[in-house]
Chain A
C-alpha cells in the first residue's frame, strides 16, 4: 500500500544548530502514527517541513507515492496535508468563520463567509464538534480553539492530519475525546500523525510509533510490541529511574495565603479567594489545567502583581502590600514559568543574569562601583556548583544556553541565599529528562534544607512525583487537598469536576 506521506532524508539547520539530521518518516492512510520524542528532538520541525512552513536544507518528500516539492503552506494544503500546530495558527481577533475563510483562500468575502460557515457546520456535525462561530477565537477556551484548528484542516479537505502535541493543554477527559475522534477519522481513511511526548497516548492510541532523538529517527515500530520501559529508553537513551523521596522533617508554616483575590492584566478575575498554607520542609504541589489562575498566583506571590484582596503572610510577616524586594529579604526564591519574562534577560551575560540577584546585598559592590571581578568569580563558582553546561565564558549571552542550563542558572541565582520559600512554576517545562531530574533534585535539596516549596505545574505526573501534599486548583481556588501518596484518579476527578 502506498504511503500517504513520506519524508526522506530530511535535514534542517538553524543558525548552525542541526535540528534535523537525515530524518525519515512515513505514515500510511488509515493509521494513527505517533511521532514520539522529547522537547527539542525535532518532531515539530520535521512536521513543519511537511506542512510547508520550513523548507528543508536537504531531503525529499513524497505524497501518495508521488515526489513533491512543498514550497509553502499553500502547496501543502493543496496536497491534502493539514497541520494543527502546538501554538495555534489562529488570528485571535477573528472569529472561527473568518479564520477558516482566511485559510481557505476564497475569492469573495461575502459568499466565502456563507460557504465556509456551511462547510464548518457540516464538518462539525460529522466529527461531533460544536464551536461558537461568532466570538473572536481569542476569547474561546484552548479546547475550543483547538477544535477550530482541526475544523480548519478538515474543511480544507486534508487527508493527512498532523497534530502537534494536541493534548498538552487539555484535561484528561478532553484529550481522550480528541484521540477517539482522531481514531474515527483514521478509520475513514485519513492518515493521522500524532506528535507527542506522552508514552501513555502512544500506547493507548497509536497504530505505529516513530521515535526521534536529537534530530534523528531512532526507531519505528508497533507500540504494542514495546514496553513502556523500552519506549522510554528509545526516547531518552539510557537513564536511571527516579524514586519518589518524601519529606524528611516538616516544620511550621512559612507561607500562608488567606482568601487571595487577583485578576489578569485585562481585568478578568482569575483568583477567587485562594487559601493555603505551606510548611517548611515540604513540597506543596498545585495541580490543575493551565489558565485557572496559576500565572496570577505566581506573579502575586513574587510581588510583581498586586492582590485585590486577601493576605499573604511570609515567614511570619504580612507582605501583602509589599513589592518583591522585602519578600526576597524574607527568603523568597522564585523560578517563574516564563524564563524570558521574570527570570532571565537573554541579551545580558551569564554574569549579569547571575548578579541581578545579589545586587542589593552589596556583595557585588556599592552604588558607586559595581565589582565586576566579584561577579565573575561568583558566577564561575555557580556555573561549576550547578553544573551549567555550554558556558564558555561568564560574558556569554544567556540566550545561548539551552533551556535546562538556563533554568540551572536561574536556580543558582535564586538559591544563593538559602531560601525559606521556593516558588517553582512549571520548573521543568520544556526540559529534557536529565535536566528535569537535576531541577527536581535541587528542589528536594532546598526542601530538605528546611525551605517550603510551592510547586505549580500543569504536568500532573510531575506534581504527583514531587509533592508531599497536593492542592488541586480550579477557577482560582484550591478545590481539594490530597496527602501523598494520592490517588491519581481522585485528583483528576477534582480537576475535571470543577473545570
Chain B
C-alpha cells in the first residue's frame, strides 16, 4: 500500500504541471479581460513544436521548451488580432483558434514525419543521493527542472500580478478598461501582451506534455486538457496559488488512473478515462452552487474595448 502511495505521489507533479502552467497562462490573459478558450490550441502548438525541435534540430530539451512557448505566443498574435483589434466575439475567436491549431499541427507534424516517434525528452535533474532517500526521494527529488521551477513561477506570477505596476495596469485593463484608458494605459497593447504572455505559458505546458511527459507527438495529444485548464481558472477564481492547488487536485486524479491499473486492479479503462472530465464538470457545478462563481471574475472579461464608442 505504501508503495502504491509513493508511486502515485511521485507521479502527481508530471500530471499536475501542465495544468498549473496552462492555468497560470490563462490567468494572465483573463486578468487583462480577454477570455481564453484557445488554450487547447496553444497546448497542441507547444506540444508539436517541442517535439519538432527534438526531432528536427537535436536533443535539446531546454530549447524545445523555449520554442514551444514561443510558437504558442506567435500563434496567439492571430487571436489577439482577431479579438482585440478586429473585436471578433471571443467565443468564436477562441474556438476558431483551437480548430486552426488542430488542423495546423496535424498538417505540419504529418508532413514533417514527427508523429509517433519517441524522443528522450526532458530528464530528471540529478540530485545524487537525495533521489535515493526512501519515500521522500521519489516524491520530492526525482523530477525534471520544470517541476522544480513551478512553485517559484507561481510565486513570480502572483507577485507580478498583485504587487507591481505592470500587474496593476494589467488588472485595470481587465477590470475597468475605460478607467485604464482614461489613465493613459494602452488597453489594446496591454491585452496583446497579456495574450502573448499567457499563450507562452500554455505553450510551455504543451511542450512539457510532449517533451517532458509523453516524450512523443500524437495528433490531438492534449486531449481536452486545455478545456480543463479553462475550468480550473474559474475554480481558482483567477488566483495563481489556488490554480496550483487545483492543478495538484486534477493531476492527482489523473495520476491515480495508471497507478490503479499498474497494481492489477481490473477497471474498465475507458470509463476510468472519463473521470478527469467528469471531475472537472463536478467541480464547476460545485463552484456555481457554493457561491457566486463570477464575483471575482475580471469585470470586462470577454468584452472588447473601444474608446470612441457612443450610444
Contacts and interface: CB of A to CB of B under 8 A. Distances in A.
A touches B (Cβ under 8 A): yes
Interface of A: 14-15, 19, 45, 51, 53-54, 72-74, 77, 83, 85, 87-94, 98-99, 101-103, 105-110, 112, 266
Contacts of B181: 53, 73, 89
B298 to A, nearest CB: 8
A53 B307 contact: yes
A87 B176 CA distance: 12
A89 B172 contact: no
B308 A54 contact: yes
Contacts of A99: 179
Contact of A93 (B165, B167, B299): B299
B175 interface: yes
B163 interface: yes
B180 A102 contact: yes
Nearest to A74: B184
Given A19-B310, A53-B307, A105 B175 contact: no
Contacts of B307: 53-54
Given A53-B307, A83-B182, A91-B176, 19 more contacts: A19-B310, A53-B181, A54-B308, A89-B176, A89-B178, A89-B181, A91-B172, A92-B175, A92-B176, A93-B175, A99-B179, A102-B179, A102-B185, A103-B183, A103-B184, A107-B165, A108-B165, A109-B164, A109-B168
Contacts of A45: 310
Nearest to A17: B310
Describe A's contact surface by its main secondary structure: loop
Contacts of A83: 182
In the complex, the 7 A-B pairs of residues with the closest C-beta atoms, listed nearest first: A74-B184, A91-B176, A89-B182, A103-B183, A89-B179, A73-B184, A14-B310
B73 to A, nearest CB: 25
B164 A105 contact: no
A89 B183 contact: yes
A108 B164 CA distance: 7
Describe B's contact surface by its main secondary structure: helix
Q: Chain B interface residue count: which class?
A: 20 to 34
Contact of A92 (B167, B183, B299): B299
A139 B145 CA distance: 44
A79 to B, nearest CB: 12
A480 B54 CA distance: 79
A72 B185 CA distance: 10
A367 to B, nearest CB: 31
Contact of B182 (A73, A93, A98): A73
Nearest to A138: B299
A101 B307 CA distance: 21
B3 interface: no
Interface string B10-52: 0000000000000000000000000000000000000000000
A105 B164 CA distance: 12
B169 interface: yes
B191 interface: no
Interface string B137-169: 000000000000000000000000001110111
Contacts of B299: 92-93
A77, A90, A92, A98 pick with most chain B CB within 10 angstroms: A90
Nearest to B167: A109
Nearest to A91: B176
B215 interface: no
14 contacts: A15-B310, A19-B310, A72-B184, A89-B179, A89-B181, A90-B176, A91-B171, A92-B175, A93-B171, A103-B183, A105-B183, A109-B165, A109-B167, A112-B165
